[in-house]
């Protein structure tokens, strides 16, 4: 394997070790099973056509053949030296099976059955659903973020940033807790330091957390606070509305000095969901607990007789806003399933088209 880049004289070598970013447990044996003669590493940044990989001997710029599936940030990989490039370059020899995978649909338009979901992050232990502390939060976005985190296989954690700027922090925390039932809500403020040490301790010595949230919520600022220095570019809030600006343009895995890593991601305008399975049940535990009491095993909780969920709505046991969020995510999941089956999607589209035309014809009479 090529030698690492040597730091200049007087410059400290801050290259993190693989152990601080999660190397251990099953990974060494799993990577050896792919190629026992290759070096082990983790992707800390994936660009189009190349990736930066942290190995035991330093950072290496890795490329692959067009026929090879590209790695994503967070992947564990095996690397061979590249005989046609410099000493800090390598060739991808394989990617380990991912323990967790945070994804979203590739497009918002019509998809073919061969389109795969876009992988945002791989092999993360925690997903920090980041939102600015507010007395009137975007509940639907928080719900989708929690579902996406659960669906990835990782543990969700709601991070309320800029908590020092909100008037009634108790209301902001309570509203977030109502939108993320069963998920811990941690208020953080890089400005005052609140919550930063607590979050840092949760990641040490070798856990990885991906940050998920809209542009300007403070993901990069929080990452810098966890590291203890400015390793990611940030921008001041806009003077016109006090909101943050879009800064991050790629996904980057940043190692923390005390162990653990943060995977910073670009802000997502919308949190599109694909076909949801376990994540929905985990994010809405109250509805999942009521469902076995329904008369019919395949009850959709729409208008079926003997529906325990609808009964809980009627007697006030179930929060109607939570049920509304559950229905919206179910609809999005069913729509994604239709789009995955292009024939079924086209049939459903034609059916709705006929219904609309018939309705318009009756209206004109």
The yes-or-no verdict on residue 227 having pLDDT over 80 is: yes
Residue-wise pLDDT tens digits, 29-44 = 999 999 999 999 999 9
Kindly state the helix (H) or strand (E) to which residue 118 belongs, with its residue range. strand 118-122
Q: How far is CA 140 from CA 58, 131, 218, 323, 326, in A?
A: 42, 12, 20, 11, 9
The CATH number that domain 18-95 falls under is 2.40.50.140
The CATH number that domain 101-264 falls under is 3.40.50.300
Residue-wise pLDDT tens digits, 95-142 = 999 999 998 886 544 444 445 678 999 999 999 999 999 999 999 999
Q: Give the whole-angstrom CA distance, residue 133 versus residue 164.
A: 9
The yes-or-no verdict on residue 82 having pLDDT over 70 is: yes
Structure confidence at residue 222 as a pLDDT band (50, 70, 90): very high
Q: Give the whole-angstrom CA distance, residue 37 versus residue 1.
A: 10
The yes-or-no verdict on residue 364 having pLDDT over 60 is: no
Structure confidence at residue 346 as a pLDDT band (50, 70, 90): low
The packing angle between helices 219-227 and 196-203, to 10°, is 70
Domain ranges in the chain are 18-95, 101-264, 278-364
pLDDT value at position 99?
A: 96
pLDDT value at position 285?
A: 96
Domain covering 278-364 assigned CATH 3.50.50.60 in the classification:
no
Residues 6+ apart with CB under 8 A from 125: 22, 100, 154, 155, 207, 208, 209
pLDDT value at position 302?
A: 94
Least confident piece of the model among 23-32, 146-155, 234-243: 234-243
- Are 53 and 31 within 8 A, CB to CB? no
């Amino acid at each position: 394997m090529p030698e690492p880049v040597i730091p200049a004289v007087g410059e400290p070598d801050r290259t993190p070790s693989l152990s601080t970013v999660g190397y251990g447990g099953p990974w060494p044996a799993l990577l050896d099973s792919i190629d026992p003669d290759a070096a082990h590493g983790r992707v800390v940044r994936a660009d189009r056509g190349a990736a930066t990989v942290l190995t035991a001997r330093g950072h290496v710029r890795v490329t692959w053949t067009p026929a090879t599936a590209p790695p994503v940030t967070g992947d564990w990989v095996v690397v061979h030296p590249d005989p046609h490039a410099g000493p800090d370059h390598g060739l991808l020899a394989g990617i380990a099976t991912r323990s967790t995978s945070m994804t979203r649909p590739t497009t918002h338009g019509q998809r073919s059955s061969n389109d795969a979901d876009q992988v945002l992050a791989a092999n993360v232990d925690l997903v920090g659903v980041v939102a600015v502390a507010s007395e009137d939060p975007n509940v639907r976005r928080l719900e989708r973020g929690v579902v996406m985190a659960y669906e990835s296989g990782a543990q969700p954690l709601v991070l309320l940033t800029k908590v020092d700027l909100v008037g009634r922090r108790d209301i902001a925390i309570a509203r977030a807790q109502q939108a993320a039932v069963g998920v811990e809500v941690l208020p953080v403020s890089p400005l005052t330091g609140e919550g930063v040490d607590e979050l840092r301790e949760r990641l040490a010595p070798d856990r990885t957390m991906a940050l998920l949230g809209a542009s300007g919520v403070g993901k990069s600022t929080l990452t810098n606070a966890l590291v203890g220095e400015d390793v990611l570019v940030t921008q001041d809030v806009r003077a016109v509305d006090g909101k943050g600006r879009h800064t991050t343009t790629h996904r980057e895995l940043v190692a923390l000095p005390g162990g653990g890593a943060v995977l910073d991601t670009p802000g997502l305008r919308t949190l599109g969901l694909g076909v949801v399975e376990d994540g929905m049940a985990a994010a809405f535990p109250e509805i999942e607990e009521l469902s076995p009491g329904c008369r019919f095993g395949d009850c959709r909780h729409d208008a079926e007789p003997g529906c325990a969920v609808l009964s809980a709505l009627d007697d006030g046991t179930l929060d109607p806003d939570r049920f509304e969020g559950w229905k919206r995510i179910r609809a999005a999941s069913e729509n994604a399933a239709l789009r995955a089956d292009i024939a079924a999607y086209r049939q459903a589209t034609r059916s709705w088209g006929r219904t609309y035309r018939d309705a318009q014809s009756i209206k004109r009479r």
